[in-house]
Amino acid sequence: MPIISANQAKPEYDVIVIGSGAGGGQAAYTLTMDGAKVLMLEAGRDYDPVKETPMFQDNSVAPLRGVGTPDKPFGFHDATIDGGWQVPGEPYTQASADPAQHFEWWRARMLGGRTNHWGRIALRNGPYDFKGFTRDGHGFDWPFTYEEIAPYYDKVELLIGVYGENNGLENTPDSPDGVLQPPPLARAGEQLARKRMKEIGIPVLPIHRAVLTQRQDSERLPARLHPNNPAAQRALAKAMSERAACFWATPCGRGCAIRANYQSTTVHLPPALNTGNLEILPNAMAREVTLNAKGLADGVIFTDKTTGQEHRVKARAVVLAASACETVRVLLNSKSAQFPQGLANSSGLVGKYIMDTVGASLSGQIPALENLPPHNEDGAGGGHVYTPWWLYQEQLAGKLGFARGYHIEFGSGREMPGMGTGSGLEHFTRGSYGRKFKEDARRYYGTYMGFSGRGEMIPNADSYCELDPVVKDKWGIPVLRFTWKWSEHETRQAEHMVKTFADIITTMGGKVLGPNPTRHRAGNQVIEKGGRIIHEVGGAMIGADPQKSVTNPWGHTWDVKNLYLTDGAPFASNADKNPTLTIMALAWRACDHLLAEMKKGNI
């Protein structure tokens, strides 16, 4: 992997890509496969999951038996090696002292960013999701339809490998034949949930996740993705042949040494590097995008975190994919005489309308799952099934009291036991010990099920970020200050979630763990804090009107035609579908446009 230092950078590149996650990785892939010379700047260190993933280590060999700590919130074995909600030397601030108005910002400072530890849930936005304002009068419409984006969803799914099924449901798009891989079988708890939930009219279907259940066809797929481009086909065929199918060995959040799941570091970057057109510069903290005399982006100023020295690199075009809020930070810090309020900010909307996914959860103990015979239920490192939003018509008729929906994710099975008593086991064992405790542990192991809602947030003017006028990070770069607000649409949605989960647990013959939400907890008490789901998008809205948006429909900024945004920052809404697949589809589309403009001589 041609990792370079700041002093090894070339005088000029075709494109500089800031960020190496889903948006940056896809941008680098699309550009380099078509011959563009690309420099990727990554604020974190180099990371190779093939060498660094702890595939077969159990919690007994980990510090503190692998539990989460402030430095490793998701546990010792989680793939995030540098980052979290707090990053040393890189603070952010809150505009209000009220905790309810705080936004918690997750950052992954490593090559590949969040794609190394994410849940791999890969759902397409549906037709309603791109036209929310037209449908119900809330939020904003995107400046294109689902049909215009669908071909890019097809290509991304073929490239990264997604398992799932087509079910022909409302606003839950199917993929063309031959695109999806076969889903794994549902676990015992998931099968029980599917049977019981059918009785109360809630569907349970195979989820779509970016995990290979079979090897990719490295002979056929490259030609399908890159027709008439033999060099790209060779580069991709080599990378695909090095990926193996999942054999259910390791939680996906650890990363994947066999490249079975999607990570930018194992899927996007290897074929891009195989072309010889990509150089990666890690530990490069981007400060600002620079402009030439014509008002075009011509490079990036960054700090080398290993030396503390500032450097500048130049290019014909710049792609910002640093993650939504980090992209906003770079734009706001890129001030000039032409853009005194920040780059590409003539609309005044940079930093406005940031969003996260609405989240709430509930768990229960299911007696029907007690004393099952020992069996392996590790599976594909995450849920095998889910419930898509099923109440579109009731919602459109105004029967629910909130405007957008959610999907349900399931947690079940006999995954690796952890330390602590948070599972609620002690509530059932009632202090047993010795042989009785062992019998109790075997009885209750695998009988807990968790249900999590992931819902749409409607963008609002009270959720935004701006530069803090005083605080800077350790490299002297002004930091972000956040203001946050959930509306009643989100809190009512969260309340609906937990009441539904309680109904599901009861229907399964289970016992709700903790206070019964139907009696004790309102929506503003059960909703997760802003940022906790780690799906922040928005801050540089895409649109059809330069006075009401930051980028045009192709993802390049209205004010600077050779500056493209390919992460979640341009999102005009945040559907209940996890945003990563849409980020990649829009990044591929944006970079196709950039390549076409470069070939025409417009950039």
Instruction: Return the bridge partners of 453, or none.
Output: 360, 408
Query: Measuring CA to CA, which residue among 22, 9, 14 is closest to residue 569?
Result: 22
pLDDT of 446 reads 87
Cα–Cα distance, 14 to 496 (Å, whole number): 50
pLDDT of 418 reads 60
Query: Measuring CA to CA, which residue among 358, 335, 338, 328 is closest to residue 480?
Result: 328
pLDDT of 122 reads 98
pLDDT of 521 reads 64
pLDDT of 169 reads 95
pLDDT of 572 reads 98
CB 320 within 8 A of CB 564: yes
CB 188 within 8 A of CB 377: yes
Query: Measuring CA to CA, which residue among 49, 13, 19 is closest to residue 322?
Result: 19
Which two three-digit tokens encode residue 115? 């794609």
Tell me the three state secondary structure of residue 468. strand
Cα–Cα distance, 410 to 392 (Å, whole number): 21
Instruction: Return the bridge partners of 556, or none.
Output: 564
CB 313 within 8 A of CB 39: yes
- Taking 70 as the pLDDT cut, the residues of the chain under it are 1, 417-426, 516-521
Q: How many CA atoms lie within 13 A of 388 on its CB side?
A: 24
pLDDT of 417 reads 67
pLDDT in tens, 27-47: 999 999 999 999 999 999 999
CB 186 within 8 A of CB 385: yes
Q: At what angle do helices 488-507 and 188-198 cross, to 10 degrees?
A: 100
Cα–Cα distance, 513 to 523 (Å, whole number): 18
CB 537 within 8 A of CB 463: no
DSSP class of residue 464?
A: E
Q: For residue 125, how far is the Cα from the chain centroid?
A: 14
pLDDT in tens, 462-472: 999 999 999 99
The CATH code belonging to domain 1-83+110-164+208-355+535-603 is: 3.50.50.60
Sign of torsion over alpha carbons 279, 472, 532, 536: negative
Query: Measuring CA to CA, which residue among 450, 491, 579 is closest to residue 142?
Result: 579
CB 320 within 8 A of CB 569: yes
